[in-house]
Amino acid sequence: MLSVKNIHQYYGGSHILRDVSFEAHAGKVTVLLGRNGVGKTTLLKSLMGLVPIKSGSIEFDGVPIHKKTPYDRARAGMGFVPQGREIFARLTVEENLRMGLAYKSGSTPVPPELFEVFPVLKQMLNRRGGDLSGGQQQQLAIARALAPNPKLLILDEPTEGIQPSIIKDIGRVIRMLAERGDMAIVLCEQYYDFAQELADDYLVMERGEVIARGLGKDMEAQGVRQLVAI
Ligand SMILES: Nc1ncnc2c1ncn2[C@@H]1O[C@H](COP(=O)(O)OP(=O)(O)OP(=O)(O)O)[C@@H](O)[C@H]1O
Ligand SMILES: [Mg+2]
């Protein structure tokens, strides 16, 4: 589904991503771990085309996409839940969900299944995004990314600053989406237990490089908890 090969990225003179390669497959959760500032968000933004890469390639569904715009990548089926959620505070929940459909034709409805996944959003359709709790905003950000029915869902630290009960709900949703079998999920996380529970495959980054990788079920035995401990 997603194949990233040897990508390098710079912010000005700082070499941030160093020869990063990995794959993400349909029906699997690929977890990206690493301490603060190692380049996780930069990698995810590079996948979406929000920051340019200097070299390397990104293929999605067999097609090179690393020269395409973020808009084209979204149209191709890549969905992104940014770190910090980036909800439009003054727009309603419904309007935020419609933003997720902005590149589809004007009449595309918000899929009703989204409200089965996140029932709380149905009750709050007319409420402003800025008036939701952090956890509800995170659910809204995930729902917004799911609205156009992406083939790949990329999530950047969805548990950051969220209360435990909603973290559990979000974990269940991610597992359910993976089990459907047709969507690949890339999950960047610093909350180790959450990451380990969901990971089919994992990668650990340090200073812009992938320093460890393997199967989720082997994470504990391979000492990943210690690698990312703060
Ligand atoms: N727009 C930018 N311009 C210059 N440097 C940046 C920019 N954004 C990030 N950086 C630097 O790039 C490095 C990687 O940042 P990045 O946000 O990708 O890390 P991260 O792993 O997502 O961290 P966190 O866990 O805190 O979210 C850091 O040293 C950061 O200071
Ligand atoms: Mg980050």
d(CA 181, CA 162): 27
Res 168: pLDDT: 95
Task: List pLDDT tens digits, range 172-228.
Answer: 999 999 999 999 999 999 999 999 999 999 999 999 999 999 999 999 999 999 999
Using DSSP bridges, classify how beta strands 78-81 and 63-64 pair: parallel, antiparallel or unpaired: unpaired
Residue 81 CA, ligand 2 centroid: distance in Å: 12
Q: Which fold has domain 25-51+69-228?
A: Rossmann fold (3.40.50)
Ion ligand 2, residue ranges at CB < 5 A: 40-41, 83
Residue 57: CB within 6 Å of ligand 1?
Answer: no
- Specify the pTM: 0.95
Res 82: pLDDT: 97
Instruction: Locate the ligand 1 atom nearest the alpha carbon of residue 45 and give its number.
Output: 18
Res 14: pLDDT: 95
d(CA 73, CA 23): 17
Instruction: Locate the ligand 1 atom nearest the alpha carbon of residue 157 and give its number.
Output: 27
Among residues 100, 76, 74, the alpha carbon closest in space to that of 86 is found at 100
Residue 36 CA, ligand 2 centroid: distance in Å: 7
The domain ranges of the chain are 25-51+69-228
**Which stretches of the chain drop beneath a pLDDT of 50?**
none
Residue 40 CA, ligand 2 centroid: distance in Å: 5
Residue 159: CB within 6 Å of ligand 1?
Answer: no
Res 188: pLDDT: 98
Residue 38: CB within 6 Å of ligand 1?
Answer: yes
Res 109: pLDDT: 84
Proximal ligand: closest to the CA of 11: 1
Among residues 147, 153, 187, 152, the alpha carbon closest in space to that of 167 is found at 187
77 close to 60: Cβ distance less than 8 angstroms: yes
* Angle CA 154–155–158, to nearest 5: 170
Res 107: pLDDT: 77
Which residue among 10, 16, 209 has the greatest number of ligand 1 atoms within 8 angstroms of its CB, and so is best to mutate?
Answer: 16
Q: What is the DSSP string of 95-139?
A: HHHHHTTTTS-TTPPPPTHHHHH-HHHHHTTTSBGGGS-HHHHHH
Instruction: Locate the ligand 1 atom nearest the alpha carbon of residue 208 and give its number.
Output: 14
